[in-house]
């Protein structure tokens, strides 16, 4: 056995990097863009000053001359004289507010201590030394598939070298040391030129400020909306009070439109220079890790990004059962490693076809790889060990960062949530992937949970003819499903429109809700017409669905008749009992979920309603509709055993609502959440497992008769 110690990544840097030169024209262009960006807020301030001047001019030029006007006429004269001043004053206040408003409180960050990770800190320092950038004073960690470097204290660090580096741990979990070094070299490449670094910071800061003030709202915006909808004073006074407030509200909207225009103008001015800065930073990555490795790293970033999206969906699903993965970066890495060839091919194809647009802040991947390869840089760092080796105990750090993400970024209380280890989560996700694959294999990507009927077993075993019928109608059925979804979307909008009308709203644009008129009768007629259209679609879909039902019944009948394992038979019977009950309930539950959409639209437009008491009455009627459906569902499930939980408690025990509910509306939302995130997913999983058993039975039949195995059956039955 060799006594040679593993090579340290600190000893693997060979040679030096030549700084990327930028032309004087490029520097002048960057300076011009920064100047233009600073000028945009000046234009905004000039707009505010102009409004103030107009208000003062009005007060002087149109002073009320007749002080003897009495009564209501006098009140009108005074109101119309002061109204522009009130409107202008409110408008100036709301336009000045963004200049002084503080950004939303930033979440707590996860800081890494140098004493805990000396190798990582020294590794980062070596990269900075070769790139020619300042060494960061602080390293932070998060769970994103990204890395970034910036001024640690914002503008307070602008004139110094006080940098902070943020490393996304999925990069560490899924990359080699060489690839991670290249990514970090790119980030520090932005800071290799001091002037360019600061000018680009100005550009980004102005762009971010515009985006924040355009889209952010605070309690003052809500107050103005409330004041402009005052109804509890006499009609004449309503006019005198509401008119200026409404005008002010419109003026604020105009001001935000101006900000919106300036925001897009700033983006248009800066995007070209932003892309050039990315190309410059890419050159440092290519020079450090090599041009060829740049291309491989770009591919790995795409795949890790897809793995991250899937992992976050996994976390969302497990959270429904009060569980979360304890190591999110490990889950991202596992998901990336288990991407199918089709997944990888599809995302790589999209990347290759993507073209850089003039408004893009970053070049397309294909353009970046092409530019990096043009450097033909061999690289000065070729260490291929896993990047996780840079950490003393990467697994422990990854788990700590995951907890921090859930608690401080997503603000999830972990007191009532269990954290599952990576192995347990991976096993559960494999089960989830398997039943989804079963559904795809059996229904040829045409599975629709609302179109499934209760299964009645058949002993004939005549599933081949039914499968042939499904195959013959598969393509047509796919088109019918698209038509069905369009009609269901139409129905959803009509239900919302009908509920708005029932709540006393004036629907001035009924076509927005697929209605021909804004009356209750018109809404009912439109819904009846859509229902008739749905019945026609159901009739057209019956051929494929009938074949699927017969195939499933026959194949499962074969499976059960051959099964000698008593425990397997008992589990099958539980699945079948649950399928039969849920198949009849799921369509109604999903239709009831439309009520929540109506409730959200009604409450979201409450300020436009003329009668608060009537509005609340109608909203409570919708809440009662949801509550009735929830209780009926729970009663219907009764003691039906859960096919997956240990000891098989009743499924109804899974219909758990939070201990504390904010109000009636929150309660209704939580009840719908149970339908869509507990009951319906349970039904889909049951169908996936039953389809897996059916495919298994079909495979056994094929083997027994020396017939070819249907496509996808091997993968689905695995």
Most confident of 49-63, 120-134, 189-203: 120-134
Distance of CA 100 to the CA centre of its chain: 30
Q: What is the pLDDT of residue 72?
A: 59
DSSP per-residue string spanning 564-580? --HHHHHHHHHHHHHHH
Most confident of 93-97, 485-489, 607-611, 702-706: 485-489
103 band by pLDDT with thresholds 50, 70 and 90: low
When pLDDT is averaged across residues 546-557 and rounded to a whole number, the result is 94
CB 251 within 8 Å of CB 259: no
- Asked if residue 143 has pLDDT above 70, the reply is yes
Distance CA 633, CA 578 (A): 13
CB 251 within 8 Å of CB 91: yes
Alpha helices in 216-290 (DSSP H): 219-227, 235-289
Better-predicted residue by pLDDT, 132 or 270: 132
H or E segment to which residue 620 belongs: helix 612-637
pLDDT per residue as tens digits for the range 589-603: 998 988 888 888 888
Distance CA 704, CA 562 (A): 13
Better-predicted residue by pLDDT, 281 or 77: 281
Q: What is the pLDDT of residue 272?
A: 76
Distances in Å between the Cα of 679 and the Cα atoms of 94, 418, 630 are: 47, 21, 11
Q: Is the dihedral of CA 211, 214, 217, 220 positive or negative?
A: positive
Better-predicted residue by pLDDT, 314 or 253: 314
Cβ neighbours of residue 624 under 8 Å, at least 6 residues apart?
Answer: none
Distance CA 133, CA 185 (A): 9
Distance CA 397, CA 385 (A): 19
Tabulate helix, strand, coil % of the chain (nearest 5): 70, 5, 25
- Asked if residue 585 has pLDDT above 90, the reply is yes
- Asked if residue 704 has pLDDT above 60, the reply is no
Q: What is the pLDDT of residue 448?
A: 93
Alpha helices in 132-234 (DSSP H): 169-174, 177-189, 194-215, 219-227
Q: What is the pLDDT of residue 206?
A: 73
When pLDDT is averaged across residues 677-698 and rounded to a whole number, the result is 92
Q: Is 678 exposed, middle or buried (0-12, 13-18, 19+ CB in 10 A)?
A: middle
As a whole number of Å, the CA-based R_g of the chain is 32
701 band by pLDDT with thresholds 50, 70 and 90: low
- Asked if residue 252 has pLDDT above 80, the reply is no
pLDDT per residue as tens digits for the range 38-66: 777 787 788 888 888 888 887 777 765 54
Distances in Å between the Cα of 683 and the Cα atoms of 368, 372, 591, 677 are: 46, 50, 16, 11
Q: How many percent of the chain have pLDDT more than 90?
A: 43
When pLDDT is averaged across residues 262-270 and rounded to a whole number, the result is 70
Cβ neighbours of residue 508 under 8 Å, at least 6 residues apart?
Answer: 518
673 band by pLDDT with thresholds 50, 70 and 90: confident
Distance CA 160, CA 152 (A): 10
Distance of CA 188 to the CA centre of its chain: 29
Q: What is the pLDDT of residue 230?
A: 47
Q: What is the pLDDT of residue 1?
A: 44
Distance CA 327, CA 422 (A): 6
pLDDT per residue as tens digits for the range 612-657: 777 888 889 999 999 999 999 999 999 999 998 889 999 998 888 8
Q: What is the pLDDT of residue 679?
A: 92
When pLDDT is averaged across residues 260-287 and rounded to a whole number, the result is 80
**Mean pLDDT taken over the chain:** 83
Distances in Å between the Cα of 113 and the Cα atoms of 124, 134, 165, 167, 397 are: 14, 18, 13, 14, 11
Looking at residue 679, the DSSP 8-state letter turns out to be: I
Pairing of strands 138-142, 110-112: antiparallel
For the ranges 350-354, 602-606, 622-626, the lowest mean pLDDT is seen at 602-606
CB 48 within 8 Å of CB 210: no
Better-predicted residue by pLDDT, 587 or 417: 587
Distance CA 92, CA 542 (A): 63
Better-predicted residue by pLDDT, 32 or 67: 32
124 band by pLDDT with thresholds 50, 70 and 90: very high
Helix axes 291-319, 328-337, angle to 10 degrees: 120
List the structure tokens of 238. Answer: 């309503």
Backbone angles phi, psi at 71, to 5 degrees: 70, -150
Distance CA 255, CA 233 (A): 29
Long-range contacts of 428-432 (CB under 8 A, 24+ apart): 428/318, 429/314, 429/331, 429/335, 432/314, 432/317, 432/685
Long-range contacts of 405-409 (CB under 8 A, 24+ apart): 405/142, 405/143, 405/328, 406/324, 408/107, 408/108, 409/107, 409/142
Cβ-based neighbour number of residue 1 at 10 Å? 3
Long-range contacts of 707-711 (CB under 8 A, 24+ apart): 710/441, 710/467, 711/441
List the structure tokens of 342. Answer: 């089709």
Distance CA 523, CA 352 (A): 48
When pLDDT is averaged across residues 119-138 and rounded to a whole number, the result is 94
Distance CA 331, CA 448 (A): 29
Better-predicted residue by pLDDT, 714 or 561: 561
């Amino acid at each position: 056995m060799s006594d040679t110690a593993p090579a340290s990544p600190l000893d693997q840097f060979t040679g030096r990097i030549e700084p990327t030169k930028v032309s004087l024209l490029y520097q002048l262009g960057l300076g011009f863009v920064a100047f233009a960006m600073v000028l945009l807020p000046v234009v905004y301030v000039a707009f505010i000053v102009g409004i103030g001047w107009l208000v003062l001019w009005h007060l002087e030029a149109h002073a009320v001359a007749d002080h003897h006007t009495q009564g209501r006429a006098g009140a009108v004269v005074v109101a119309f004289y002061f109204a522009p001043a009130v409107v202008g004053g409110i408008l100036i206040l709301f336009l000045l507010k963004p200049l002084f408003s503080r950004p939303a409180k930033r979440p707590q960050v996860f800081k890494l201590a140098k004493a805990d990770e000396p190798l990582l800190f020294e590794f980062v320092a070596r990269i900075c030394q070769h790139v020619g950038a300042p060494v960061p004073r602080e390293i932070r960690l998060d769970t994103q598939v990204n890395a970034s470097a910036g001024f640690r204290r914002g503008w307070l660090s602008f004139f110094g070298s006080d940098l902070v580096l943020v490393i996304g741990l999925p990069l560490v979990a899924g990359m080699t040391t060489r690839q991670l070094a290249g990514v970090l070299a790119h980030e520090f490449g932005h800071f290799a030129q001091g002037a360019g670094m600061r000018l680009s910071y100005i550009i980004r800061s102005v762009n971010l400020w515009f985006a924040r003030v355009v889209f952010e709202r605070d309690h003052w915006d809500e107050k103005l909306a409330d004041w402009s909808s005052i109804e509890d004073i006499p009609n004449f006074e309503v006019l005198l009070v509401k008119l200026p407030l409404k005008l002010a509200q419109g003026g604020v909207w105009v001001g935000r439109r101006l900000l919106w225009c300036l925001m897009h103008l700033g983006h248009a001015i800066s995007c070209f220079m932003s892309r050039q800065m990315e190309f410059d930073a890419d050159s440092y990555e290519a020079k450090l890790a090599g041009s060829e490795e740049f291309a491989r790293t770009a591919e790995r970033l795409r795949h890790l990004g897809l793995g991250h999206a899937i992992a976050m969906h996994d976390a969302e699903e497990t959270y429904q059962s009060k569980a979360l993965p304890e190591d999110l970066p490990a889950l991202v890495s596992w998901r990336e490693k288990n991407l199918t060839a089709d997944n990888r091919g599809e995302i790589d194809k999209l990347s290759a076809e993507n073209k850089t647009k003039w408004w893009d802040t970053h070049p397309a991947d294909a353009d970046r790889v092409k530019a990096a390869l043009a450097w033909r840089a061999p690289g000065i760092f070729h260490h291929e060990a896993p990047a996780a080796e840079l950490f003393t105990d990467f697994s422990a750090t990854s788990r700590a960062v995951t907890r921090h993400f859930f608690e401080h970024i997503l603000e999830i209380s972990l007191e009532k949530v269990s954290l599952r280890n990576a192995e347990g989560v991976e096993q559960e996700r494999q089960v989830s992937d398997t039943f989804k694959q079963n559904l795809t294999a059996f229904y040829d990507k045409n599975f629709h949970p609302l179109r499934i009927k209760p299964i009645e077993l058949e002993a004939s075993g005549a599933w081949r003819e039914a499968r042939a019928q499904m195959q013959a109608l598969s393509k047509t059925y796919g088109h019918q499903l698209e038509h069905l979804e369009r009609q269901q979307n139409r129905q959803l909008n009509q239900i919302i429109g009908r509920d708005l009308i029932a709540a006393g709203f004036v629907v001035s644009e009924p076509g927005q809700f697929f209605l021909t008129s804004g009356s209750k009768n018109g809404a009912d007629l439109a819904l009846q017409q859509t229902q008739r259209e749905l019945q026609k679609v159901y009739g057209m879909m019956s051929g494929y669905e009938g074949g699927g039902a017969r195939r499933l019944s026959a194949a499962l009948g074969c499976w059960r008749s051959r099964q000698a394992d008593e425990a397997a038979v008992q589990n099958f019977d539980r699945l079948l009992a649950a399928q039969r009950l849920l198949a009849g309930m799921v369509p109604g539950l999903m239709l009831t979920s439309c009520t929540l959409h109506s409730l959200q639209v009604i409450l979201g437009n409450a300020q436009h309603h003329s009668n608060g008491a009537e509005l609340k009455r109608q909203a409570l009627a919708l809440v009662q509709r949801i509550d009735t459906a929830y209780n009926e569902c729970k009663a219907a499930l009764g003691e039906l055993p859960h096919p997956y939980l240990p000891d098989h408690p009743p499924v109804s025990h899974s219909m758990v609502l939070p201990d504390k509910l904010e109000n009636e509306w929150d309660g209704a939302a939580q009840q719908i959440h149970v339908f869509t995130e507990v009951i319906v997913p349970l039904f889909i999983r049951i169908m996936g497992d039953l389809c897996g058993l059916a495919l298994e039975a079909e495979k056994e039949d094929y083997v027994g008769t020396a017939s070819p195995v249907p496509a996808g059956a091997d993968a689905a039955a695995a």
